[in-house]
Structure 1
Amino acid sequence: MMKRRAFVAAVPAAGLAGSAAAAPSTPRVNTKMHVGGDYHVVAGGKNTEMTTRRNLEYNLRHGIRHLTVKVLKNDATGAWDRGLLAWMRDNCDRAGVKMEAIRMPATYINQRTAADQERELDIVVRNVERAAEVGVEVITYHWTLIPIRRNKETPGRGGSFYKAFTLENDWKSLPVERSGRVSHAEYWERIEKFLKRVIPVAAQFKVKMACHPYDPPGLPFGYQGADNWDSPDVFAAIKRYEAIVESPWNGFQVCLGTIAEGLERPAAGVAPIVQYLGERGKIHQVHMRNIKGKLHDFQEVYPDEGVMNFFGITRILRDTGFSLSICPDHLPHHPDDPEGTEAFAYGYGYIQALIQGVNAELQRG
């Protein structure tokens, strides 16, 4: 696998409040962390199979050699189709790309009866085994009892548009989503059942399970019928989630933008969460999305114009030994870029520069 360690002398050694005290006394160059591509943008359209020549070449042109894919076909049991998985893996291998992760759908968490939950857990267990068969290291997932919530757009630079959210004054009048009313206790019961059944299997097959926090965190209990697991305190919820089954295979897809959306002071509050999880080896993938705003009032912006210091956060990833993908996520959109390939090309380069920059500062002199 190609490693890129180009020297970037122009990148400033920006500091990050709250990170220095917990960092190792002797930081080391980290050549294992890398920029990754995923299902948010697929050359040819989001519903296109991700390991086509067109999409693989799009990713390779922008320095991407690690993919998080979606599997678009199941077999008669409901599990991922073995033939398709092998075909996708082989396509990646021929192109010199690693099929590093698979995105798992959120079907399980929406099941109301014990029988339906058990059926879906059986499918998840088979999927973990099948992922391991083709060399996949990570399965990511995002529990969405209610869909990801945005309720407006704001104008951005160059004629682009930013998706945004402001908590509605009348949120209690919003319709309940199809999952129905789910209390906090019931939500956590479903999570506990999932983790206790799946994580031992993941450990057996050496597949890391990576939970994405619900987006956005901190919604009031009862919002569209759900008491979301990462409300009211996203950091406390993350700690509770990992403690249910303490295992290196039970970790997180750390979406920096999502976590920021759940904090009153995201500029200062995200780094300690990254530090906490990084020190414990619980970061199995990173989504690098920036925002302007805070809890209950934010917009998703380009990575260079938001409230977070991504150079400092990448330092934490370097110093805690993170070795997997950092992926762009939820970039602004523009009518001249309907598939988002231009926006994500910018995101890929931005992340690659961050990785090179934090390593270059240790190589100077």
Structure 2
Amino acid sequence: MKMVFRWFGEGNDSVKLNHIKHIPGVEGIVWALHDIPAGEEWPKEQIEAVKSQADRHGFHIDVVESVNVHEDIKLGLPTRDLYIENYKKTIENLAAAGVKVICYNFMPVFDWTRTELFKQLEDGSTAMFYEKAKVENMDPLELVDKIGNNSNFTMPGWEPERLKSLRELFDRYSWVTTEDLWDNLKYFLEQVIPIAEQNDIKMAIHPDDPPWPIFGLPRLLISKENIRRFLKLVDNPANGLTLCSGSLGANPDNNIPEIIREFADRIPFAHIRNLKVYENGDFIETSHRAEDGTVDICNIVKAYHESGFTGYVRPDHGRHIWDEQCRPGYGLYDRALGIMYLWGIWDSLVNGNRQKDSIKSQDESIKFFQKGVI
């Protein structure tokens, strides 16, 4: 596996590239042009500027996260064709700079949902938290009003203009069914996957977070069955999955190792993170260590190893530890700890196979020697 690290750019991230360089085994940064509104073409000169920054520290820019899909595409509006054309041009521009994987999602309105960004854990660290009952009993338009009355309200990873248009988006999605969303996703894929294939890029959709409908909005990438349906919409190796153990793992019914083994050849990019799911459906993000949460990180890494996985992996959301002031979920310290935990599992599997091969070789030598003596 190829280890990478998400970075939000100079002036937009408390984490520095020279600090990421200190983490063993990190080959590249996972990046984006966060100032480009969804639907617009990414300029070549800005892409090259990020590449130059990465080059100076010996990192590649093989993986982009996210080239956001404009809401008109998800809604199936007539204007979608314009935004799809811009998306195609962006794919070509990224390929010219050496990009190999584009991570994106097709979640209506909200990329992800949490009710608290800095919930305290028992050890004193904080992490992002989801209170299921609060979301189920919340009127989303109250959230719209809260945002509208607070000019300082932000959501990490969101474009500011999207926050300003939430009320309009909810109105538009009121007539979009789950099947409509599937149809609109297929339309998008039929347009962009051939371009991605021509440019040797893998499109890797991110599962919905959390993996169930919220605020009456449909969700698609929520289960093994739905992933299987997605991959068949356009059955092409360029049409793949960003397997996020945390997003799918919020539903304990999702068997992540099983999903990995079934779709391994369609997973060019993986997010590995842990979380603890409570009986009432709440969940909180934890350290990457398997024992600290509900997601079986050890068997997840084992499933990748046994599948011969050679794609890109990054540690996903971390806790906020050691008084680090950082973007929610994206500090340096806990994600660095997560990387070392993942490498520890991976290296033990690699070394275990070497020992088995060595023992097998010794056994064959003994049999050969005995045969010669006899």
For Structure 1 versus Structure 2, the TM-score category normalised by the shorter chain is 0.7 to 0.9
1:74-113 to structure 2, matched below 5 A, reads 74=36, 78-111=40-73, 112=75
| Worse overlay, 116-125 or 174-183 | 174-183
Q: Which amino acid aligns with 1:308?
A: V
Task: After TM superposition, give the deviation of residue 341 of structure 1 in Å.
Answer: 1.5
- Distance (Å, rounded) in 2 between the aligned partners of 1:253 and 1:325: 10
Structure 2 residue 333 is matched with structure 1 residue 342: yes
CA contact 1:102–1:136 (8 Å) conserved in 2? yes
Q: Which amino acid aligns with 1:133?
A: A
Task: After TM superposition, give the deviation of residue 79 of structure 1 in Å.
Answer: 0.9
Task: After TM superposition, give the deviation of residue 45 of structure 1 in Å.
Answer: 4.1
1:201-350 to structure 2, matched below 5 A, reads 201-219=195-213, 223-230=214-221, 234-264=223-253, 269-278=255-264, 281-293=265-277, 296-304=281-289, 305-334=292-321, 336-339=323-326, 340-350=331-341
The CA deviation string for residues 110-159 of structure 1, in whole angstroms up to 9 with x for no partner, is: 55453321121111101111111011100001223132111246431431
| Worse overlay, 178-187 or 111-120 | 111-120
The CA deviation string for residues 224-278 of structure 1, in whole angstroms up to 9 with x for no partner, is: 24111135xx1111111111000111111100011111333x5xx1111111111
- Distance (Å, rounded) in 2 between the aligned partners of 1:43 and 1:327: 19
Q: Which amino acid aligns with 1:342?
A: Y
Q: Which amino acid aligns with 2:271?
A: H
Task: After TM superposition, give the deviation of residue 207 of structure 1 in Å.
Answer: 0.3
Q: Which amino acid aligns with 1:322?
A: F
Which of 150, 155, 158 lines up with 2:120 in the alignment?
155
Task: After TM superposition, give the deviation of residue 166 of structure 1 in Å.
Answer: 3.1
1:44-193 to structure 2, matched below 5 A, reads 45-46=12-13, 55-63=16-24, 64-72=26-34, 74=36, 78-111=40-73, 112=75, 114-147=77-110, 148-152=112-116, 154-168=119-133, 171=136, 173-175=138-140, 177-178=166-167, 179-180=169-170, 181=174, 182-193=176-187
The CA deviation string for residues 157-179 of structure 1, in whole angstroms up to 9 with x for no partner, is: 43112322232277265225542
Note the aligned Cα RMSD (angstroms): 2.5
| Worse overlay, 249-258 or 171-180 | 171-180
Number of corresponding residues: 315
The CA deviation string for residues 179-219 of structure 1, in whole angstroms up to 9 with x for no partner, is: 22232022112111111111111111110001001100023
- Distance (Å, rounded) in 2 between the aligned partners of 1:91 and 1:99: 10
CA contact 1:331–1:343 (8 Å) conserved in 2? yes
1:130 to 1:238, Cα distance in 2 relative to 1, 3 A: same
Q: Which amino acid aligns with 1:252?
A: L
- Could you tell me which residue of structure 2 aligns to residue 38 of structure 1? 6
| Worse overlay, 304-313 or 125-134 | 304-313
Q: Which amino acid aligns with 1:288?
A: I
Task: After TM superposition, give the deviation of residue 74 of structure 1 in Å.
Answer: 4.7
Q: TM-score, normalised by structure 1?
A: 0.79
Task: After TM superposition, give the deviation of residue 312 of structure 1 in Å.
Answer: 2.2
- Distance (Å, rounded) in 2 between the aligned partners of 1:245 and 1:107: 17
Q: Which amino acid aligns with 1:254?
A: L
CA contact 2:65–2:102 (8 Å) conserved in 1? yes
Secondary structure of the equivalent of 1:36? strand
- Distance (Å, rounded) in 2 between the aligned partners of 1:74 and 1:249: 24
Pick 1 or 2: higher relative contact order, CA cutoff 8 A, min separation 6. 1
**Structure 2, unaligned runs of 5 or more:** 142-165, 359-374
The CA deviation string for residues 73-101 of structure 1, in whole angstroms up to 9 with x for no partner, is: 559x9211101212222332343211111
Secondary structure of the equivalent of 2:133? coil
1:242 to 1:170, Cα distance in 2 relative to 1, 3 A: closer
- Distance (Å, rounded) in 2 between the aligned partners of 1:204 and 1:335: 46
Report the structure number with the largest CA radius of gyration.
2
1:272 to 1:171, Cα distance in 2 relative to 1, 3 A: same
| Worse overlay, 239-248 or 330-339 | 330-339
Secondary structure of the equivalent of 1:96? coil
- Distance (Å, rounded) in 1 between the aligned partners of 2:53 and 2:321: 31
- Distance (Å, rounded) in 2 between the aligned partners of 1:83 and 1:163: 35
- Distance (Å, rounded) in 2 between the aligned partners of 1:150 and 1:164: 6
1:62 to 1:42, Cα distance in 2 relative to 1, 3 A: farther
1:292 to 1:42, Cα distance in 2 relative to 1, 3 A: farther
CA contact 1:71–1:102 (8 Å) conserved in 2? no
1:162 to 1:170, Cα distance in 2 relative to 1, 3 A: closer
CA contact 1:44–1:55 (8 Å) conserved in 2? no
**Structure 1, unaligned runs of 5 or more:** 1-32, 49-53
CA contact 1:210–1:252 (8 Å) conserved in 2? yes
1:363 to 1:57, Cα distance in 2 relative to 1, 3 A: same
